[in-house]
Structure 1
Amino acid sequence: MATITIGILGLGRFGRAVAQELSTFDCEVIVIDKNQENVEWIEPYVTQAIQGDIRDFDFLENIGMANCDVAVVATGDSLESSVLGIMNCKKLGINSIVAKAQDKDYRDVLVAIGANTVIQPEKEMGKRVAKSLLRRHITDMVELDENYAVVEFFPPKTWIGETIETLDLRKRYEINIIGLRNKDDGKLDVSFGPDHQVQADDIFVGIAESDKIERYDYLNKLR
């Protein structure tokens, strides 16, 4: 499979975090920042680190930015830089553009000029922390789209000893169980049957509507 190439424009805290995380995967990461110290700091982690101005179309074209499959415009402190960075990426033919925004108005501008995805890191982190504080049984959740997520959760005490079939989770909570994980060894079992008897060390893995499963959990309705 061909390696994906991701360009990161801007090396603030958000840009650095994205670059470092991507460096742990099998992909090429090219980063650009106007500050040479930032460039030197990130250089050991990425494929290529370049000092330059993301507002300069000719500069981006000359360094081969058009070869990127995805561009992350991480200059959230300057609307001008973000706007010109996105416009330049669009002109270079990059189809997938992710951008950072400080607030909703900022976000609306970036979407209007062509960003495919706009992230508000502080707002989204705040939501994530708030949700984690309210969780009773959910241990992890990965969003699949705006409505559905893969969710991992411990069974309530009242489920222990019951079978998957008698619990009828799809009907009661609209959860499709796709696997079971043992909390001690972490191994995922996808070959379980309806007669599986729920154990205290089971972790359920299922697909459900995000809002519904979280609300069931917050309100302690998983019984």
Structure 2
Amino acid sequence: MGFLKKFIRNVLREGSQAQLRSSFEHLSEEELEAHLRIAKYGNFTLTDAIRPSYDLQVVPREGYRHDIYRSDNGKTVIPVLMASVSKERLFDTFMELLDPLGDEVDVVLETSHNRDRPGHHDLYREDIDMPVLKSVLWEFEDLLLNDGCTGVAVLNPDIPLEVQFDEHKLLICYGSDLRSFERILKGHGIPNDEQIRFITEAEHVHSSTEYYARRFEELKMYLGMDEGCYV
């Protein structure tokens, strides 16, 4: 099996086969490798976790927009802020977005390292002190930034507010009052653009390594998470 087929099998996360054929199927290995090496689009720098489609259906750029989360039955409606932030200030922005959540929070780790199972799986830890959590997250900054199979969400169900740093390295804030999150984004110079499209809204690819899979296991241990998973 050539490099391209291995890449398609092991790294593709979203998008139909038809989308895959339209963008990647006829590339040479040299063209694919050249595309994967491109991390900078204008003033925006991607982490190593993700790359857009070869035909750039969405060009990565910085910005945030308002959105709405609706449950499957339509009974729950939650305001959302979604943000795309350039690599050099992405983690700092994420860490500051945690401040409105309070002193004690729950944390969820999202993983899709196990390719034998569809989708991703979540591990949950309740009642962790925010300073302790932040210390652990700083320790694993490289994993959280650059592994396309790892995401983390931090929430305070008593408020309720949630901040998600997902596998695509987007920042997603949930809650009835999002003003504190919006002030933080503006403070980091992230522009409001209600027309922005995110990399998740078109074909894209995720990247991971065995090293990051091992680091994820270490992160689980640091956070005291057991093997129980839920979807």
Both structures adopt the same fold (TM-score exceeding 0.5): no
Larger Rg: 1
With the shorter chain as reference, the TM-score category is: under 0.3
State the TM-score, normalizing by the size of structure 1.
0.24
State the TM-score, normalizing by the size of structure 2.
0.23
